[in-house]
A = this chain, B = another copy of it.
Amino acid sequence: MQNWVEKQALIAPDHLAVTDGSQRLTFSQLLTDTQQINGQLTQAGFAPQKAVALLANNSFEAYRIAMALLASGRPIVWLNKRLQSTELLRQIQNSQSGGVIVEDALWRDDLANQAVSFSDLLNLPAQSLALQSEFDPNGTASIMFTSGTTGRPKGVVQTFNNHFSSAVSSMLNLGMTPTDEWLCAVPIFHISGFSILMRGLIYGMTVRLVPRFEAKMVHTILVNEPITTLSVVPFMLKKLLAQQVTTGEPYNSKFRVMLLGGGPIDLATLNQSQKAGIAVVQSYGMTETASQVVALSNQDAPAHIGSVGKPLFLTQIRLTDDQGEILLKTPALSPATIGQRTTTTARVMTPDGWYQTGDIGHFDAAGFLYVDGRVDDMIISGGENIFPDEVEAAYQAFAGLQEISVVGEKSPDWGMVPVAFIVADSSVTAEALTMYGRRKLAHYKVPKRFIKVTELPKNASGKVQRAKLRAQLAINP
């Protein structure tokens, strides 16, 4: 496969590759730029073919350096800026990176002896160096450490073919026109953001970068610039809808769709989007599949609230008979992980080649998929399955309750029973919570105990770490 940067410079030289609103690069300029940065990377001592870690914001410079790493044959190891330096150092080591390039604004002295800053790199003498002429489809393009809620993060290897298959799947689902422009307000060090950069390179499409999600700014861009597509998570969608209600300003006439990840939306939000004339495509995907593998169209959403949709053209899904674990096949599936704990390795692939997602789900009669929770989180009580998500959702509206997380605790009578950790006002009593739960849920789903804590343990993405709660119960029942 020809180097994608060189390819787009050949077939779409004058098309805008990227803009952050002030700076701009066409694909032809991107080629020249990546050749120059390749020279600077070499001067800075980054060996060809060796992975390089990147600690970056959604900046124009981060885009330029990421493209130069890809196009020069150096796999990108995406670091999550929310992690501690000790964790980042471990990831740099596990991925055998030849060092780390750090955005000036994110500079950390405790990484310094492995690191070069963006400005130090880009201020090296300009010296153009030829790129790698071909991309090996099975070669590593990028490595992302998943911010799992259990255990140590594992580095997911994403190949060029993984990214290509993902981009093609997305195109077969959402369509694509030569004037498409995708706004990237999600982190480029997550697959949600990086997959936008890859689609840009594969489609020959403009990527519009914003430094971070800020509802008012993103709304203004959607109104005034020719953005066709935007990736969001539920809270971003809600904030943007609020902006639309406040301002009454419609988006630009080319706007086509919001691609929503990170969980399905509720009926009220869906209705509000439809009222505002905003098409929302919900989706399900993961770092291991280089972005979405299941999607739900705007048209299908009202009749299938809570569903993540149907498997995309290149994805096959089936459920295990026992637990209903979601198994999948897709050419976008990562071939390998690094630094994986032995305890979780066994659960990755079935003998006949299906990837075990660790998610539990079910299909409705029309073939729409619903994700019910994580295998690790499921509580089997007296032969019945209890999904913590469902129990927690039932308590959403309980007055005085700020946070709740439900896990299983061993029980001599039932095998396991649900137990809730809560952050709540002092007025909230276990009796009231139990009574409330019994009105909303089957009785076996109501937590047997409510344990008050001052805060719930969370990972870098803000997800509650139920594993830590389970460990706490085991130590101190």
Contact = CB atoms under 8 A, between A and B. Distances in A.
Contact of A203 (B10, B172, B310, B311): B172
A310 B176 contact: no
A208 interface: no
Contacts of A172: 171, 176, 202-204
Interface in A290-316: 310-314, 316
A10 B310 contact: yes
A310 B168 CA distance: 20
A11 B178 CA distance: 25
A316 B180 CA distance: 25
Nearest to A171: B171
A412 interface: no
Contact of A175 (B1, B2, B11, B175): B175
A68 to B, nearest CB: 21
Interface residues of A, number: 23
A171 B203 CA distance: 9
A472 interface: no
B11 A310 contact: yes
Interface in A34-56: none
Contacts of A180: 175
Contacts of A367: 10
Nearest to A203: B172
B2 A316 contact: yes
A86 interface: no
Interface string A207-250: 00000000000000000000000000000000000000000000
A11 B172 CA distance: 11
A87 B7 CA distance: 43
Given A171-B171, A175-B178, A7 B313 contact: yes
A177 interface: yes
Task: Give chain A's interface secondary structure class.
Answer: mixed
Contacts of A313: 7, 11, 202, 204
A183 to B, nearest CB: 19
Select the residue from A1, A204, A313 with max chain B CB neighbours within 10 A: A313
Contact of A168 (B7, B168, B178): B168
A311 B11 contact: yes
Contacts of A310: 10-11
Nearest to A1: B314
A125 to B, nearest CB: 30
Nearest to A178: B175
Interface string A1-25: 1100001001100000000000000
A264 to B, nearest CB: 18
A178 B178 CA distance: 15
Contact of A177 (B11, B168, B175, B311): B175
A2 B316 CA distance: 7
Interface in A127-184: 168, 171-172, 175-178, 180
Contacts of A168: 168
Contacts of A7: 313
A9 to B, nearest CB: 9
Contacts of A312: 11
Interface in A310-347: 310-314, 316
A180 B175 CA distance: 10
Nearest to A366: B13
A46 to B, nearest CB: 27
A367 B10 CA distance: 7
Contacts of A204: 172, 313
A134 to B, nearest CB: 8
A425 to B, nearest CB: 47
A311 B1 CA distance: 12
A347 to B, nearest CB: 24
A76 to B, nearest CB: 21
23 contacts: A1-B314, A2-B316, A7-B313, A10-B311, A10-B367, A11-B310, A11-B311, A11-B312, A11-B313, A171-B171, A171-B172, A171-B176, A172-B176, A172-B202, A172-B204, A175-B175, A175-B176, A175-B178, A175-B180, A176-B176, A177-B177, A202-B313, A204-B313
Given A7-B313, A11-B310, A175-B178, 16 more contacts: A1-B314, A2-B316, A10-B310, A10-B367, A11-B312, A11-B313, A168-B168, A171-B172, A172-B176, A172-B202, A172-B203, A172-B204, A175-B177, A175-B180, A177-B177, A204-B313
A-B interface, 6 closest residue pairs, ranked by CB to CB distance from nearest: A175-B177, A11-B310, A2-B316, A175-B176, A175-B178, A10-B367
